[in-house]
Amino acid sequence: TSNWIDVAVQEDVPQDDVIGLAVAGRDIALYGVEGEVFATDNICTHGHAQLCDGFLEGHEIECPLHQGRFDVRSGQPTHAPATEALRSYPVKIEGGRVWLALD
């Protein structure tokens, strides 16, 4: 059973952009892409950079530090030097709010 947590108002997630927020002691990145919302850990798996300071293009987030990239839908790395997947989280939109399942 998933533990859904209400983390944001859907309208507060910008389209074609990324925001960072603290949820239950974790640093989470929320991405708005084509009307959908995706969530991953906000800390890059390559170094200690926050992806919310990076650049989102389509479904790809580019890390601000060494320009590694990840697919925000799966967390999978898509461009060097990123090689390790980001943790990604299930998202649902309900009642105009964004819910994450953290475990």
Give contact residues for ligand FES (rule: CB under 6 A).
44, 46-47, 49, 63, 65-66, 68, 81-82
Nearer to ligand FES, 4 or 55 (CB): 55
Task: Give the rounded distance of the alpha carbon of 24 from its chain centre.
Answer: 15
CB of 31 to ligand FES, least distance (A): 16
CB of 68 to ligand FES, least distance (A): 3
CB of 81 to ligand FES, least distance (A): 5
Q: 79, 16, 15: which is closest to 44 by C-alpha?
A: 79
CB of 58 to ligand FES, least distance (A): 18
Q: How many CA atoms lie within 13 A of 18 on its CB side?
A: 29
Nearer to ligand FES, 75 or 99 (CB): 75
**Residues 6 or more apart whose Cβ sits within 8 Å of residue 43:** 27, 49, 50, 51
Provide the H-helix boundaries in 1-103. Answer: none
Nearer to ligand FES, 6 or 84 (CB): 84
The one-letter code for the residue type at 33 is V
Nearer to ligand FES, 28 or 82 (CB): 82
